[in-house]
Structure 1
Protein backbone atom coordinates (compact mmCIF):
# COMPACT_ATOMS: atom_id res chain seq x y z
CA UNK A 1 0.00 0.00 0.00
CA UNK A 2 1.27 3.43 -0.93
CA UNK A 3 0.82 6.22 1.64
CA UNK A 4 -0.39 9.67 0.67
CA UNK A 5 1.63 12.84 1.10
CA UNK A 6 1.06 15.22 4.01
CA UNK A 7 -0.45 17.84 1.69
CA UNK A 8 -2.95 15.33 0.31
CA UNK A 9 -3.93 14.23 3.80
CA UNK A 10 -4.20 17.87 4.93
CA UNK A 11 -6.59 18.81 2.09
CA UNK A 12 -8.66 15.70 2.71
CA UNK A 13 -8.92 16.45 6.46
CA UNK A 14 -10.08 20.01 5.71
CA UNK A 15 -13.05 18.59 3.79
CA UNK A 16 -14.19 16.33 6.64
CA UNK A 17 -16.60 17.47 9.37
CA UNK A 18 -15.05 17.96 12.85
CA UNK A 19 -16.83 14.93 14.31
CA UNK A 20 -15.33 12.64 11.68
CA UNK A 21 -11.86 14.15 12.23
CA UNK A 22 -12.18 13.39 15.94
CA UNK A 23 -13.17 9.79 15.17
CA UNK A 24 -10.14 9.43 12.91
CA UNK A 25 -7.82 10.79 15.60
CA UNK A 26 -9.21 8.39 18.20
CA UNK A 27 -8.84 5.51 15.79
CA UNK A 28 -5.26 6.55 15.08
CA UNK A 29 -4.54 6.72 18.83
CA UNK A 30 -5.71 3.13 19.27
CA UNK A 31 -3.22 1.73 16.77
CA UNK A 32 0.08 2.70 18.30
CA UNK A 33 1.20 3.71 21.76
CA UNK A 34 3.42 6.41 20.23
CA UNK A 35 0.42 8.04 18.51
CA UNK A 36 -1.44 8.07 21.80
CA UNK A 37 1.56 9.59 23.60
CA UNK A 38 1.87 12.31 20.95
CA UNK A 39 -1.82 13.21 21.22
CA UNK A 40 -1.50 13.28 25.02
CA UNK A 41 1.43 15.66 24.74
CA UNK A 42 -0.37 17.92 22.26
CA UNK A 43 -3.61 18.05 24.24
CA UNK A 44 -2.35 18.21 27.82
CA UNK A 45 1.37 18.98 28.03
CA UNK A 46 2.18 21.38 25.19
CA UNK A 47 0.61 24.35 26.99
CA UNK A 48 3.25 24.15 29.73
CA UNK A 49 6.36 22.97 27.90
CA UNK A 50 8.82 23.97 30.63
CA UNK A 51 7.03 21.84 33.22
CA UNK A 52 6.97 18.91 30.78
CA UNK A 53 10.73 19.21 30.20
CA UNK A 54 11.32 19.29 33.98
CA UNK A 55 9.16 16.19 34.40
CA UNK A 56 11.17 14.35 31.72
CA UNK A 57 14.42 15.43 33.40
CA UNK A 58 13.19 14.11 36.74
CA UNK A 59 12.23 10.74 35.22
CA UNK A 60 15.62 10.44 33.51
CA UNK A 61 17.47 11.31 36.73
CA UNK A 62 15.53 8.67 38.66
CA UNK A 63 16.22 6.02 36.04
CA UNK A 64 19.92 6.90 35.90
CA UNK A 65 20.12 6.49 39.68
CA UNK A 66 18.40 3.10 39.47
CA UNK A 67 20.99 1.66 37.09
CA UNK A 68 24.03 2.76 39.12
CA UNK A 69 24.72 -0.58 40.79
CA UNK A 70 24.22 -2.77 37.74
CA UNK A 71 27.06 -4.77 36.16
CA UNK A 72 28.57 -3.38 32.94
CA UNK A 73 26.50 -5.18 30.32
CA UNK A 74 23.20 -4.56 32.07
CA UNK A 75 24.19 -0.95 32.74
CA UNK A 76 24.83 -0.36 29.04
CA UNK A 77 21.56 -2.02 28.11
CA UNK A 78 19.54 0.07 30.57
CA UNK A 79 21.43 3.23 29.57
CA UNK A 80 20.47 2.71 25.94
CA UNK A 81 16.87 2.26 27.06
CA UNK A 82 17.05 5.64 28.78
CA UNK A 83 18.52 7.17 25.62
CA UNK A 84 15.57 5.87 23.61
CA UNK A 85 13.22 7.18 26.26
CA UNK A 86 14.62 10.71 26.01
CA UNK A 87 14.23 10.73 22.23
CA UNK A 88 10.42 10.38 22.36
CA UNK A 89 9.75 13.65 24.22
CA UNK A 90 12.28 15.39 22.00
CA UNK A 91 10.37 14.21 18.96
CA UNK A 92 7.07 15.39 20.45
CA UNK A 93 8.31 18.81 21.59
CA UNK A 94 10.00 19.81 18.35
CA UNK A 95 11.60 22.82 20.08
CA UNK A 96 15.37 23.16 19.66
CA UNK A 97 15.94 24.92 22.98
CA UNK A 98 14.03 22.26 24.93
CA UNK A 99 15.91 19.57 23.02
CA UNK A 100 19.25 21.15 23.89
CA UNK A 101 18.15 21.41 27.53
CA UNK A 102 17.34 17.70 27.68
CA UNK A 103 20.61 16.77 25.98
CA UNK A 104 22.52 18.98 28.41
CA UNK A 105 20.79 17.24 31.30
CA UNK A 106 21.98 13.90 29.95
CA UNK A 107 25.54 15.23 29.68
CA UNK A 108 25.35 16.36 33.32
CA UNK A 109 24.02 12.99 34.41
CA UNK A 110 26.80 11.17 32.54
CA UNK A 111 29.57 13.43 33.83
CA UNK A 112 28.35 12.98 37.41
CA UNK A 113 28.70 9.20 37.28
CA UNK A 114 31.56 7.28 38.81
CA UNK A 115 33.14 5.45 35.94
CA UNK A 116 34.96 2.18 36.19
CA UNK A 117 37.35 1.08 33.45
CA UNK A 118 34.67 -0.91 31.64
CA UNK A 119 32.14 1.92 31.42
CA UNK A 120 34.43 4.95 31.14
CA UNK A 121 34.89 4.88 27.37
CA UNK A 122 31.22 4.05 26.79
CA UNK A 123 30.00 6.95 28.94
CA UNK A 124 32.58 9.40 27.61
CA UNK A 125 31.60 8.56 24.04
CA UNK A 126 27.91 9.00 24.90
CA UNK A 127 28.63 12.39 26.48
CA UNK A 128 30.59 13.47 23.41
CA UNK A 129 27.69 12.45 21.17
CA UNK A 130 25.26 14.54 23.23
CA UNK A 131 27.64 17.49 23.20
CA UNK A 132 27.92 17.31 19.40
CA UNK A 133 24.11 17.15 19.15
CA UNK A 134 23.87 20.27 21.31
CA UNK A 135 26.45 22.07 19.19
CA UNK A 136 24.46 21.25 16.05
CA UNK A 137 21.35 22.76 17.66
CA UNK A 138 23.04 26.00 18.81
CA UNK A 139 22.76 27.92 15.50
CA UNK A 140 18.96 27.47 15.55
CA UNK A 141 18.56 28.75 19.12
CA UNK A 142 18.30 32.40 20.17
CA UNK A 143 21.64 34.03 20.95
CA UNK A 144 21.18 34.50 24.72
CA UNK A 145 20.18 30.90 25.30
CA UNK A 146 22.89 29.61 22.99
CA UNK A 147 25.50 31.59 24.94
CA UNK A 148 24.19 30.13 28.21
CA UNK A 149 24.36 26.62 26.77
CA UNK A 150 27.94 27.14 25.59
CA UNK A 151 28.89 28.41 29.03
CA UNK A 152 27.30 25.39 30.73
CA UNK A 153 29.04 23.01 28.31
CA UNK A 154 32.42 24.60 29.15
CA UNK A 155 31.72 24.17 32.87
CA UNK A 156 30.94 20.47 32.42
CA UNK A 157 33.77 19.66 30.03
Structure 2
Protein backbone atom coordinates (compact mmCIF):
# COMPACT_ATOMS: atom_id res chain seq x y z
CA UNK A 1 0.00 0.00 0.00
CA UNK A 2 1.40 3.37 -1.01
CA UNK A 3 0.82 6.37 1.27
CA UNK A 4 -0.89 9.39 -0.26
CA UNK A 5 0.45 12.93 -0.07
CA UNK A 6 -0.31 15.35 2.76
CA UNK A 7 -2.30 17.50 0.34
CA UNK A 8 -4.62 14.61 -0.43
CA UNK A 9 -5.00 13.78 3.26
CA UNK A 10 -5.83 17.41 4.04
CA UNK A 11 -8.46 17.46 1.30
CA UNK A 12 -10.03 14.24 2.56
CA UNK A 13 -10.10 15.51 6.16
CA UNK A 14 -12.05 18.58 5.05
CA UNK A 15 -14.87 16.30 3.89
CA UNK A 16 -15.13 14.39 7.19
CA UNK A 17 -17.31 15.24 10.18
CA UNK A 18 -15.73 16.12 13.56
CA UNK A 19 -16.81 12.75 14.97
CA UNK A 20 -15.12 10.88 12.14
CA UNK A 21 -11.94 12.92 12.63
CA UNK A 22 -12.02 12.15 16.35
CA UNK A 23 -12.34 8.43 15.64
CA UNK A 24 -9.42 8.57 13.20
CA UNK A 25 -7.23 10.34 15.79
CA UNK A 26 -8.10 7.79 18.47
CA UNK A 27 -7.39 4.93 16.11
CA UNK A 28 -4.10 6.53 15.10
CA UNK A 29 -3.06 6.82 18.74
CA UNK A 30 -3.34 3.06 19.20
CA UNK A 31 -0.66 2.16 16.69
CA UNK A 32 2.49 3.94 17.72
CA UNK A 33 3.77 5.41 20.95
CA UNK A 34 5.03 8.51 19.08
CA UNK A 35 1.54 9.18 17.71
CA UNK A 36 0.14 9.08 21.23
CA UNK A 37 2.94 11.34 22.51
CA UNK A 38 2.27 13.85 19.73
CA UNK A 39 -1.46 13.85 20.46
CA UNK A 40 -0.68 14.35 24.17
CA UNK A 41 1.49 17.35 23.31
CA UNK A 42 -1.09 18.86 20.96
CA UNK A 43 -4.04 18.37 23.30
CA UNK A 44 -2.55 19.00 26.73
CA UNK A 45 0.83 20.72 26.54
CA UNK A 46 0.92 22.95 23.45
CA UNK A 47 -0.90 25.80 25.21
CA UNK A 48 1.80 25.91 27.95
CA UNK A 49 5.14 25.85 26.14
CA UNK A 50 7.12 26.86 29.26
CA UNK A 51 5.64 23.96 31.21
CA UNK A 52 6.42 21.61 28.33
CA UNK A 53 10.04 22.78 28.24
CA UNK A 54 10.35 22.25 32.00
CA UNK A 55 8.94 18.73 31.76
CA UNK A 56 11.41 17.89 28.97
CA UNK A 57 14.27 19.34 31.05
CA UNK A 58 13.20 17.17 33.98
CA UNK A 59 13.20 14.16 31.67
CA UNK A 60 16.72 15.09 30.49
CA UNK A 61 17.89 15.40 34.12
CA UNK A 62 16.46 12.00 35.02
CA UNK A 63 18.02 10.42 31.95
CA UNK A 64 21.46 11.83 32.72
CA UNK A 65 21.24 10.57 36.30
CA UNK A 66 20.70 6.95 35.27
CA UNK A 67 23.55 6.75 32.72
CA UNK A 68 25.81 3.75 33.22
CA UNK A 69 29.28 5.26 33.69
CA UNK A 70 31.23 1.99 33.63
CA UNK A 71 32.73 2.79 30.23
CA UNK A 72 32.55 5.48 27.58
CA UNK A 73 30.79 3.02 25.28
CA UNK A 74 27.77 2.94 27.60
CA UNK A 75 27.93 6.69 28.14
CA UNK A 76 27.90 7.37 24.36
CA UNK A 77 25.05 4.95 23.85
CA UNK A 78 22.98 6.57 26.61
CA UNK A 79 23.75 10.13 25.50
CA UNK A 80 22.70 9.29 21.92
CA UNK A 81 19.42 7.93 23.28
CA UNK A 82 18.84 11.09 25.32
CA UNK A 83 19.59 13.24 22.27
CA UNK A 84 17.22 11.17 20.13
CA UNK A 85 14.45 11.82 22.68
CA UNK A 86 15.25 15.54 22.85
CA UNK A 87 15.03 15.77 19.06
CA UNK A 88 11.68 13.97 19.17
CA UNK A 89 10.34 16.47 21.73
CA UNK A 90 11.63 19.34 19.59
CA UNK A 91 9.81 17.89 16.57
CA UNK A 92 6.56 17.82 18.54
CA UNK A 93 6.82 21.50 19.42
CA UNK A 94 8.11 22.83 16.08
CA UNK A 95 9.06 26.14 17.74
CA UNK A 96 12.55 27.54 17.22
CA UNK A 97 12.74 28.98 20.75
CA UNK A 98 11.99 25.58 22.22
CA UNK A 99 14.55 23.92 19.95
CA UNK A 100 17.33 26.32 20.92
CA UNK A 101 16.51 26.17 24.62
CA UNK A 102 16.39 22.37 24.74
CA UNK A 103 19.55 21.94 22.67
CA UNK A 104 21.45 24.38 24.88
CA UNK A 105 20.16 22.64 28.00
CA UNK A 106 21.29 19.28 26.60
CA UNK A 107 24.73 20.77 25.87
CA UNK A 108 24.94 22.22 29.37
CA UNK A 109 24.10 18.85 30.94
CA UNK A 110 26.58 17.07 28.68
CA UNK A 111 29.37 19.55 29.46
CA UNK A 112 28.88 19.24 33.23
CA UNK A 113 28.51 15.45 33.08
CA UNK A 114 30.93 13.41 35.17
CA UNK A 115 33.12 11.69 33.98
CA UNK A 116 34.18 14.43 31.60
CA UNK A 117 33.38 14.20 27.89
CA UNK A 118 36.87 15.47 27.03
CA UNK A 119 38.20 11.90 27.00
CA UNK A 120 35.80 10.84 24.24
CA UNK A 121 36.11 12.35 20.79
CA UNK A 122 32.63 11.13 19.82
CA UNK A 123 31.01 12.85 22.82
CA UNK A 124 32.92 16.06 22.13
CA UNK A 125 31.82 15.99 18.49
CA UNK A 126 28.21 15.36 19.51
CA UNK A 127 28.41 18.31 21.91
CA UNK A 128 29.88 20.62 19.25
CA UNK A 129 27.33 19.55 16.60
CA UNK A 130 24.41 20.31 18.89
CA UNK A 131 25.94 23.63 19.95
CA UNK A 132 26.42 24.60 16.28
CA UNK A 133 22.86 23.54 15.48
CA UNK A 134 21.59 25.75 18.30
CA UNK A 135 23.67 28.67 16.97
CA UNK A 136 22.25 28.17 13.48
CA UNK A 137 18.65 28.18 14.76
CA UNK A 138 19.42 31.22 16.90
CA UNK A 139 19.59 33.42 13.79
CA UNK A 140 15.84 32.89 13.23
CA UNK A 141 14.82 34.21 16.67
CA UNK A 142 13.93 37.66 17.99
CA UNK A 143 16.88 39.90 18.92
CA UNK A 144 16.15 39.81 22.67
CA UNK A 145 16.07 36.02 22.67
CA UNK A 146 19.23 35.95 20.56
CA UNK A 147 21.02 38.04 23.18
CA UNK A 148 19.88 35.83 26.06
CA UNK A 149 20.80 32.61 24.27
CA UNK A 150 24.14 34.05 23.11
CA UNK A 151 25.07 34.54 26.77
CA UNK A 152 24.40 30.85 27.39
CA UNK A 153 26.38 29.86 24.29
CA UNK A 154 29.36 31.97 25.38
CA UNK A 155 29.22 30.29 28.77
CA UNK A 156 29.17 26.86 27.14
CA UNK A 157 32.06 27.69 24.81
CA UNK A 158 34.26 28.92 27.67
CA distance in 2, matches of 1:116, 1:48: 35
| 1:33-68 per-position Cα deviation (integer Å, ceiling 9, x unaligned) | 111110011001111111111111111112112216
- Per the alignment, residue 154 of structure 2 pairs with 154
Q: Contact conserved, 1:107 with 1:130, CA < 8 A, in 2?
A: yes
1:8-157 map, 5 Å = 8-67=8-67, 69-115=69-115, 119-157=119-157
CA distance in 1, matches of 2:112, 2:98: 21
| 1:93-114 per-position Cα deviation (integer Å, ceiling 9, x unaligned) | 0000111000000111111123
Aligned residues: CA RMSD: 1.7
CA distance in 1, matches of 2:16, 2:119: 54
Per-residue deviation at 1:116? 5.2
| 1:117-151 per-position Cα deviation (integer Å, ceiling 9, x unaligned) | 88432322111011111111012111110121112
- Per the alignment, residue 4 of structure 1 pairs with 4
Q: Contact conserved, 2:104 with 2:134, CA < 8 A, in 1?
A: yes
Query: For structure 2, which runs of at least 5 residues remain unmatched after alignment?
Result: none
CA distance 1:2–1:61, shift in 2 (3 Å): same
CA distance 1:75–1:40, shift in 2 (3 Å): same
Q: Contact conserved, 1:72 with 1:118, CA < 8 A, in 2?
A: no
Query: For structure 1, which runs of at least 5 residues remain unmatched after alignment?
Result: none
TM-score in terms of structure 1 length: 0.92
More helix by share: 1
CA distance 1:62–1:91, shift in 2 (3 Å): same
Q: Which deviates the most, 100-109 or 68-77?
A: 68-77
TM-score in terms of structure 2 length: 0.92
Per-residue deviation at 1:69? 3.0
